[in-house]
Amino acid sequence: MIIKNSEYALSAVREDQFPKDDFSEIALAGRSNVGKSSLINTLLKRKNLARTSSQPGKTQTLNFYRVNDSFYLVDVPGYGYAKVSQKKRQEFGEMIQDYLETRENLKGLIILIDSRHEPTKDDIAMYEYAQYLNLPILVVATKMDKIKKSQTNKVMNNLKKNLDLSYENVDVLTFSSVSKLHVNELGDWIESHL
């Protein structure tokens, strides 16, 4: 995919705030701090379009980024961040669920998992939920620049051990926003699902 242009479009917490045009959407989900906003910036070759932070819990709304005047990338608030209050977490959960379950423009879900750790309970729950919703899924193992070459197999094995990758609509990529590993493959996956 060739990125011609990209821009922040809007932030939403409810359906009536979602974009009104009929562009396809690809959403990104994953634990807080896993690298969702960084992946968006890397893919779009923009330094600071999606706000990143070493402080987890930064993204608290569904943030829509318009790409090539033809589709949206949707940055979803990170799950599993302990310092967010129980009430806020429940609100996040409901907002994300509403979006994933009802949004017809949504064509695929990218689930980011930190390559340094085994998938968490939340990661597994998100993956199984997306399967249940019949969404095409791309599992992305992030921060691969922190992994020794010799440990690459272990990253894949950790994913295979915890996620049933035999589902027909699942692809897997290793990725790094630092080294830009597989950024082209990521763009190709998105393009083929719009």
Ligand X SMILES: Nc1nc2c(ncn2[C@@H]2O[C@H](COP(=O)(O)OP(=O)(O)OP(=O)(O)O)[C@@H](O)[C@H]2O)c(=O)[nH]1
**Residues lying near ligand X in the complex (CB under 6 A):** 30, 32-38, 52-54, 56-59, 78, 142-143, 145-146, 176-178
When the beta carbons of 34 and 43 are compared against ligand X, the nearer one is: 34
Least distance between Mg ion and beta carbon 74 (Å): 12
Q: Which residue(s) pair with 29 in the sheet? A: 111
Closest distance to Mg ion from the beta carbon of 41 (Å): 10
Q: Which does 142 bind (CB under 5 to 8 A by kind): ligand X, Mg ion, none?
A: ligand X
Please, what is the minimum distance in Å from the beta carbon of residue 82 to ligand X? 12
Sorted by sequence, the CB contacts under 8 Å of residue 144 that are 6+ apart come out as 115, 152, 155, 174, 175, 176, 179, 181
56 interacts with, out of ligand X, Mg ion, none, CB within 5 to 8 A per kind: ligand X
> How far is the CA of 66 from the CAs of 22, 106, 194, in angstroms?
12, 14, 13
In this chain, which of 42, 59, 63, 158 binds Mg ion, going by CB under 5 A? 59
Q: Which of 6, 33, 37, 176 is the binder for Mg ion (CB under 5 A)?
A: 37
Tokens of 151: 């440990």
Return all residues near 112 (Cβ < 8 A) that are at least 6 apart: 28, 29, 30, 31, 34, 35, 36, 39, 140, 142
List Cβ neighbours of 65 (8 Å cut-off, separation of 6 or more). Answer: 6, 7, 8, 9, 40, 44, 49, 50, 72, 73, 74, 75
Using Cβ positions, the residue closest to ligand X within the complex turns out to be: 78
Cβ 140 to ligand X, closest distance in Å? Answer: 10
Rounded to an integer, what distance in angstroms lies between the CA atom of residue 57 and that of residue 191? 29
Binder of residue 191, out of ligand X, Mg ion, none (CB less than 5 to 8 A by kind): none
Name the minimum Å distance from CB 168 to Mg ion.
30
Please report, as ranges, the residues that interact with Mg ion according to CB under 5 A: 36-37, 59
